[in-house]
Amino acid sequence: MTAVPGAARYALALGDDALILAHRCGEWITNAPQLEEDVALANIGLDLLGQARSLLTHAGEVEGKGRTEDDLAYLREERAFTNVQLVELANGDFAVTMARLLTFSTYQLALYDQLRAGSDETLAAVAAKAVKEVAYHRDHATSWVIRLGDGTDVSHGRMQAGLESVWPYVEELFDTSWVEPELLHLGVAVDAAQLRPEWEAYLHRSHPGARW
In a domain, 23, yes or no: yes
Does 178 reside within a domain?
yes
CATH code: domain of residue 11: 1.20.1260.10
Residue 180 falls inside a structural domain: yes
pLDDT of residue 208: 61
Closest CA to 189 of 87, 106, 114: 114
pLDDT number for residue 1: 44
The series of mean pLDDT values per 10 residues for the chain, 212 residues long, is: 81 98 97 94 98 98 97 96 98 96 98 98 98 98 95 96 96 97 97 97 76 54
Question: Measured on CA atoms in the order 19, 20, 25, 31, is the torsion positive or negative?
Answer: positive
**Predicted local confidence at residue 55, as pLDDT:** 98
Round to whole Å and give the CA distance between 126 and 168.
Answer: 29
Instruction: Compute the C-alpha angle 196/198/200, nearest 5°.
Output: 65
Residue 99 lies in a domain: yes
Asked whether residue 43 is domain-assigned, the answer is yes
Asked whether residue 211 is domain-assigned, the answer is no
pLDDT of residue 2: 44
**What is the chain's length?**
212
In a domain, 174, yes or no: yes
Q: Which residues constitute the domain of residue 76?
A: 7-206
Angle between the 94-115 and 7-26 helix axes, to the nearest 10 degrees? 150
Q: What is the pLDDT of residue 209?
A: 60
How many domains does the chain divide into? 1
Whether residue 212 lies inside any domain: the answer is no
